[in-house]
Amino acid sequence: MPKLVDHDKRKKHIAEATWRVILEQGMEGATVRNIAKEAGISLGALRYYFSTQDDLLVYAMELVKEQAEARINQIVVEDLPPKETIVKILMELVPATEETMAEMEVWFAFIAYSRHKEAGFDARQDGILHGISHMIHYLYKTKLLKEGLDVDLETEKLYALVDGLALHAMLDPNRINRQRLLGVLTSHIDSICKE
């Protein structure tokens, strides 16, 4: 009987090995050789799934995006009050846990790596701007947004705030810890919403 292999599971296993290598050795250590070793598979097996290193890195980044989306969808169905939902979602986009810190490391390493290369993943299309635009529009439509605020400018501000906090939390996790992230994001959402 032929061996049955769950290909999606195997790809995910390889992508997770990729993350561990990036986290430990930086992007320059993320060679197919090191990744195959970390995943405990042969180079040939790795190449079966990802023919080039770029393919593999793009897949690892897509997985970061998918995981974040899954967590966010989970929050949406909880049906909490709007401000609470928004702060909870924003907390999934900054390094407030080990998981989100790892995602930030991969995201950052990927951006740095792809700056001077043609990669199949466009870091500008990570979906965060779109999601934040959606939140601000929602606050506007439900009349929770303070009068006179510009939806477009508030979107840009919140987007920059989230990525700036994410960057600072990655660089200085002791100072910008979970509590600090929650404090700043809550205070910002409060400042743009009616009482």
Q: Report how many helices (DSSP H) and strands (DSSP E) the chain contains, helices first.
A: 9, 0
> Is 25 or 142 the residue whose CB approaches a second copy more closely?
25
Cα separation of 137 and 123, whole Å? 23
How many residues bind a second copy (CB under 8 A)? The answer is: 36
Question: What distance in Å separates the CA atoms of residue 17 and residue 66, rounded to the nearest whole number?
Answer: 17
Residue 187, H or E segment: helix 178-192
If the CB atoms of residues 41 and 192 are measured against a second copy, the closer one turns out to be: 192
Which of 179, 177, 131 shows the shortest CA–CA distance to 155?
Answer: 131
Q: Using the rule CB under 8 A, is 194 a contact of a second copy?
A: no
Among residues 6, 28, 78, 118, the one that binds a second copy under rule CB under 8 A = 28
CB 123 within 8 A of CB 108: no
CA distance 170 to 185: 16
Give kind and range of the element (H or E) at residue 162.
helix 151-171
In residues, how long is the chain? 195
Of 115, 118, 143, 195, the one binding a second copy (CB under 8 A) is 115
Query: Which of 19, 59, 108, 121 forms a contact with a second copy (CB under 8 A)?
Result: 108
Among 96, 136, 159, 189, binds a second copy (CB under 8 A): 159
Contact, 190 vs 87, CB < 8 A? no
Q: Assess 84 for contact with a second copy (CB under 8 A).
A: no
**Binding range to a second copy, per CB under 8 A, among 3-11, 33-41, 136-144, 180-188:** 180-188
The smaller minimum CB distance to a second copy, of residues 38 and 105, is found at: 105
Q: Closest approach of Cβ 73 to a second copy, in Å? A: 24
Which parts of this chain interact with a second copy (CB under 8 A)?
A: 25-29, 105, 108-109, 111-112, 115-116, 123-124, 150, 153, 156-157, 159-165, 167-168, 171-172, 176, 180, 183-184, 187-188, 191
